[in-house]
Structure 1
Amino acid sequence: MFVSFFPQPKLFFTSAALWSLVGILFWFFGGQQLGAAIGLPPAAPDAPPILGVPMFWSAPFLWFYIYFAVMLAAFYLFWRFYSPHPWQNWSILVSAFILFSTYINVQIYVALNNWRGPFFDLFQKAISAPGTVSAAELYSLFGIYALIGLMFISLYVVTKFVVSHYIFRWRTAMNDFYAQNWSRLRHIEGASQRVQEDTMRFSTSMEQLGVAFADSLLTLIAFLPVLDALSAHITELPLIGPIPHSLVIVALVWSLFGTILLAVAGIKLPGMEFRNQRVEAAYRKELVYGEDDPNRASPPALTELFQNVRRTYFRYYFHYAYFNVFRAGFGQADAIFSSVILIPTIAAGKITLGIWQQISTAFGQVSSSFQYLVSAWPQIVELISIYKRLRAFEATLYGEPLPDIDQRYLAKHGVEDPT
């Protein structure tokens, strides 16, 4: 699954995580200031945020682009000489591009949040004091919003195009790897489906979950300072009273609660999804044999196989039902939570409409990032089940025992474990 596309996967991902951590820490503890040496200093602490897309070619951003390119070049050159791999241009450079575009996408949301403050303050002024705000001022701010939206659309289209090719390249690498070892893999139940379908689903799910995780991490890096600064406007929290860094603490506690709640509620789902795929594969396989052999796919055999499908799916539906109860309930509570904790501050008249909008947006971004497992859990369930199916291929190639469920299938059909 990984060795076909990445060089020495365990060492590669470990080094990528450590190098990324080094790059992030160095950036925040001195790296930003290095740009001043070439005329690209960081923004002054008391400088107002740049509204709209000009922030993306300001001095701090230009220095970040250079910094990112240097860190990427060092990592790429190390792996190019240490462990050459035929797919490393895609697995390293294109992965970095996806990570970079994810970061820019997060910064677009930061730019949008910066726009919300002055726009909604101007909006509040316009409706509370008629005649003090001209239509041109409002049109001007909407023009800034339109340019931010245009940049978002452009980045979205380009990224989706690149990601589509990235997924297919990963699938191609896995397909070639398994095709070269087909003689050793063909005896595995559902082998054709695993090569044809599961490789595509695995690469797609891994890319989507990886991008979602990177997006959550980068959103936290971008929005936590914003949310912490906005905490200065909060007078007190319901039932708790005034505390420092209030919004950050509440977002962390609330998101941790939601993650634990849904992880416990959905703990049985990955194994059940895997069983669903197994009974579907057995049913489909018998139908395929029946196309060429009149003695196969008899009505009694198909009835028994479909009863297995029915039984596993009905059990799965039951467990997913109570998981959805918790998931939907938490989602509804999460939609109003940020507004509820602001009630004492709103009642005290300590924030404007613009600040309220900024707090709601920043809190939502940070909270959703902390809730990565909450939003991604159904897809994680599917990915784990696909991984278990492809893991049988890995076990066969490396002489390891097959997973228990595959061993039970072989024993039932009188086939010895080839490993």
Structure 2
Amino acid sequence: MLLGCIADDFTGASDLANTLARQGMSTVQFVGVPDKPALECEAGVVALKTRSIAPEEAVAQSLVALDWLLEQGCQQIFFKYCSTFDSTPQGNIGPVAEALLDALGAHSAVVCPVFPAAGRRLFMGHLFVNDRLLSESGMEKHPLNPMIDPDVRRWLRLQTKGEVGFVGYKQVRMGPEEIAAALEAEAGAGRRLIVIDAVEDDDLFAIAAALVGQKLVTGGSGLALGLPENFRRAGLLGKQSAPYTRLSGPGVALSGSCSTASQAQLAHYLKSHPGLALDPAELMAGRQTPDMAVAWIREHLDSQPMVYSTADPKQVAADQIRFGRQELAERIEGFFRMLATKLVEAGVVRIAVGGGETSGSVVAGLDAHSLLIGPEIDPGVPALAAIGTRPVRLALKSGNFGAPDFYEKALNALGDG
């Protein structure tokens, strides 16, 4: 294994794995930290569920993943987080990145959450989502990680022990040599985490070319566009990935994200498919259960039904106040985890999932140990083949990703009904 990746959620992991595979790197996504040597691959992506947990626990899990990846012989480590920099003033991006730097004995690492294909760009240190600043994109209403400041430098500084560096767009446009010199100057000034502007894919390729030999890279999946080329130039690539195959059988869609994009995708899907909404009051009282949902799904299995907790952010906020933010989140995640187990037992073989937390719960419920990467469905979202006790095909979508018709496309890409 050449490139070892640590992702802070499951949709981000599949997004990154998709990028690396499309750039010609033999890639496998692992569900948590494996307890044995890796499947044969050139890039391994360890999918954790650390984005919204306590910083000290996120650091601990990330260091365990790092140790395993180094045991596999990785020459470079990539810490992957969301292209909307999902985090709180306490972490977890800053604490994890600093801990990885310390463990690797590295002097610095770039910070670049850019993903132009999904409209995420960084200019003058400010993160944009399409034509809006991050803080005006809807992410300021995120129920777990509200992003209220688009200045990545300022937000990251709240999470870190040291000062945050910066390389601006003018230097980026001058090419890899200038980028490398600017990064070295920032590191020499004691700024270990260095935010770097990028607007287009060409910028990301230039940045990646400047990172040859860097022990740690941090960013969104976009930055991974150019990393395989560094290994290719060194004559290190050539392994073939295990083939992905579609799987025919019943399909179900699940949605837990409350993003603007997810709400639009849900509305589109429900125009032609039956849907079952989770009711927080019924769920918390134990009157709405996974068994009940499975019984309903069986009645509508020919129509590829949807089960969802997606709701308007104002309603979500009211429910969090009523039932407790953490308590409600854990109940919903537990519901989807158990539901995934029961769906596969009921013969469902295709599952399209929206939302990072929901995706993590679903994968946990499937008891899969790794995921093979298939064709891209929408930017950043590949078809996946779960390797475990039962055959199943998955699409794991970050809340903000995907076209309005994502769920239909996803289920069709996974196989026939």
Same fold (TM over 0.5): no
Structure 1 length normalisation: TM-score? Answer: 0.24
Which one has a larger percent strand, Structure 1 or Structure 2? 2
Q: Could you say which structure has the larger radius of gyration?
A: 1
Structure 2 length normalisation: TM-score? Answer: 0.24
